[in-house]
Amino acid sequence: MSPALAVFLLLLAALVLTNVWATRRVLRSHEFGNRKALMVMGIWILPFLGAFMARYQFAPPEDSQPAALALPVQGGEQPPAPQVLRMAGLEPFTVRDHLSAPAGLPLMDWQALDHWAGQAPTPEATTEAIALGRRAWLLHLSDAIGPHMHLHESADVSILSPLEPTVAQAMAGYVGKTRQRIARVLDGVARFHPGEKSVLLVLESEELYYHYVGQFYPDGGEFAFSGGMFIHNGCPHFVVVQADLSTIEPVIAHELTHSALSYLRLPTWLDEGLAVNTEHRLTGARRPAQTPQAMHQRHLAFWNAERVQEFWSGDSFHRTDDGNALSYDLARIAVEQLARDWPAFSRFATSARRGDAGAEAAASALGIDLGSFVGALVQASEDWAPRPATWPTQPAQQAAYLHF
């Protein structure tokens, strides 16, 4: 064998072994969906470079989720739903006395839980007490939905779902990494409370999904379809319909963004614009059904000085006609343009008020007239300034944010 051939075979063996190691690292990671497939392709297409990228982008399972934090899920013993919560320094909290079931599914009296937890001696103990109450509620909800539901917990998330254990573990890893990415992308704006887990409810059918979320809507009326929803009602949590994991990824990114922004009580258009843009940045934008020119024509045909007030108040995001999609698209475009100067936009986002749709904050932090700015995006000649006095109702804190 010639020296050149020997060197070639050694390099080939090193490449194959390196790629096999990197492929196993990716496949055993807690990522899921398309990212694994794309990275494995890159490993074998780009010699050594793909393996190098896998080494630094995909942590091994033991680094990303301590086994001690995971509850037994499908195939194991799930703890029984507690009847009483006990913590040192606090009187016992009787769970059953604070559960109701308006739609046949248990809801916790979150004010009562907060009052009980607020008597804890330290802020850390208060956070722990609230976590106990949320966990108790999820276990009671699991019992009510059926034996196929299981609770899985990691350091960052509690997931109640019918998913297989490995899938639930992968989803928990994805949620944890997505929280970190949102905090980086929305630096200075997004916030996850230290020690507070995200709560994710995965429901197996659209029928059960709409039955559950219907509890948080006002009686009567029609509402837009959604694939996921963030519910800020005592226990902030988001709900999705069980589907292919690559389909759930954008919904999780979108709803986690709402969760990270919930402390600000943003105007709906700003909240949704940030959620859509963050979702696209983290998971990739979907191929648009229409060209930008066609969408622009739809905006021109729909919006006027009267309808734009629905955009400012947030009502248009709950329409069941063309206004629903156009509201999300207009919010996406507006936030994309405004966020180009991130330090100024950060000051705007953290001071914007629902009461005036952020108009005062826009003038102060960005030096713009908000109505004129958004009107220019659609080439409107009318006065598009927010006029809160004309809104049918003042924008109360939204119980739910729909993902379109």
Query: pLDDT tens-digit profile of 94-151?
Result: 999 999 998 899 999 999 999 999 999 999 999 999 999 999 999 999 999 999 999 9
- The identity of residue 169, as a single letter, is Q
Q: Quick one: average pLDDT of 156-172?
A: 93
- Same-domain status, 264 and 313: no
- Same-domain status, 180 and 265: yes
Give the whole-angstrom CA distance, residue 101 versus residue 115: 21
- The band of 4, judged by pLDDT with boundaries at 50, 70 and 90, is confident
Query: What local confidence, expressed as pLDDT, does residue 401 receive?
Result: 45
pTM of the model: 0.75
Query: Which of the two residues, 403 and 283, has the higher pLDDT score?
Result: 283
- Same-domain status, 284 and 190: no
Q: Which residues contact 191 (CB under 8 A, 6 or more apart)?
A: 183, 260, 261, 263
At which of 278, 311, 329 does a domain end? 278
Is pLDDT above 50 for 68? no
Query: What local confidence, expressed as pLDDT, does residue 177 receive?
Result: 95
How many of the other CB atoms lie within 10 Å of CB of 339? 18
pLDDT digits over 341-397, tens only?
A: 999 999 999 999 999 999 999 999 999 999 999 999 998 888 899 999 999 865 544
- Same-domain status, 81 and 212: yes
At which of 223, 249, 278 does a domain end? 278
Give the whole-angstrom CA distance, residue 372 versus residue 385: 7
Query: What local confidence, expressed as pLDDT, does residue 189 receive?
Result: 97
Give the whole-angstrom CA distance, residue 170 versus residue 213: 25
Residue with tokens 């276990």: 139
- Same-domain status, 16 and 112: no
Is pLDDT above 50 for 61? no
Q: Which of 105, 124, 81 is nearest to 210 (CA)?
A: 105
Write out the residue range of the structural domain in which residue 10 sits.
3-64
- Same-domain status, 44 and 152: no
- Same-domain status, 261 and 304: no
Which segment of 298-307, 310-319, 321-330, 393-402 scores lowest on mean pLDDT? Answer: 393-402
- Same-domain status, 33 and 55: yes
pLDDT digits over 29-39, tens only?
A: 545 444 555 56
Query: What local confidence, expressed as pLDDT, does residue 56 receive?
Result: 47
Q: Which of 307, 314, 403, 323 is nearest to 355 (CA)?
A: 314
Which segment of 17-31, 150-164, 299-313 scores lowest on mean pLDDT? Answer: 17-31
Q: Which of the listed ranges 8-22, 60-74, 246-260 does the model predict with the highest average pLDDT?
A: 246-260
Query: Which of the two residues, 246 and 298, has the higher pLDDT score?
Result: 298
Distances (CA, A) of 282 to 15, 211, 302, 334: 31, 30, 30, 19
Give the whole-angstrom CA distance, residue 277 versus residue 58: 24
Give the whole-angstrom CA distance, residue 45 versus residue 50: 7
Query: What local confidence, expressed as pLDDT, does residue 42 receive?
Result: 64
- Same-domain status, 242 and 118: yes
Share of the chain above pLDDT 70, in %: 78
Give the whole-angstrom CA distance, residue 372 versus residue 384: 6
- The band of 403, judged by pLDDT with boundaries at 50, 70 and 90, is very low
Is pLDDT above 80 for 22? no
Give the whole-angstrom CA distance, residue 94 versus residue 128: 17
Phi, psi (deg, nearest 5) at residue 382: -90, 175
Query: What local confidence, expressed as pLDDT, does residue 394 receive?
Result: 59
Query: What local confidence, expressed as pLDDT, does residue 116 receive?
Result: 97
Give the whole-angstrom CA distance, residue 248 versus residue 314: 25
Is pLDDT above 90 for 271? yes
Give the whole-angstrom CA distance, residue 156 versus residue 150: 17
- Same-domain status, 113 and 225: yes
- Same-domain status, 296 and 391: yes
Is pLDDT above 60 for 153? yes
Give the whole-angstrom CA distance, residue 109 versus residue 176: 28
Give the whole-angstrom CA distance, residue 400 versus residue 236: 10
* Average model confidence (pLDDT) across the chain: 84
Helix extents (H) in 90-122: 110-117
Give the whole-angstrom CA distance, residue 323 versus residue 298: 10
- The band of 62, judged by pLDDT with boundaries at 50, 70 and 90, is very low
Q: Quick one: average pLDDT of 262-268?
A: 94
Is pLDDT above 90 for 53? no
pLDDT digits over 202-228, tens only?
A: 999 989 998 998 888 766 555 556 778
Is pLDDT above 60 for 57? no
Number of domains in the chain: 3
Query: Which of the two residues, 53 and 324, has the higher pLDDT score?
Result: 324
Query: What local confidence, expressed as pLDDT, does residue 399 receive?
Result: 42
245-261 and 165-185 helices cross at what angle (nearest 10)?
40
pLDDT digits over 274-297, tens only?
A: 999 999 999 987 777 788 899 999
- Same-domain status, 32 and 166: no
Helix and strand numbers, DSSP H then E, in the chain: 16, 10
Query: What local confidence, expressed as pLDDT, does residue 180 receive?
Result: 95
List the structure tokens of 385. Answer: 């300034």
At which of 234, 250, 278 does a domain end? 278
- The identity of residue 93, as a single letter, is F
Query: What local confidence, expressed as pLDDT, does residue 71 receive?
Result: 40
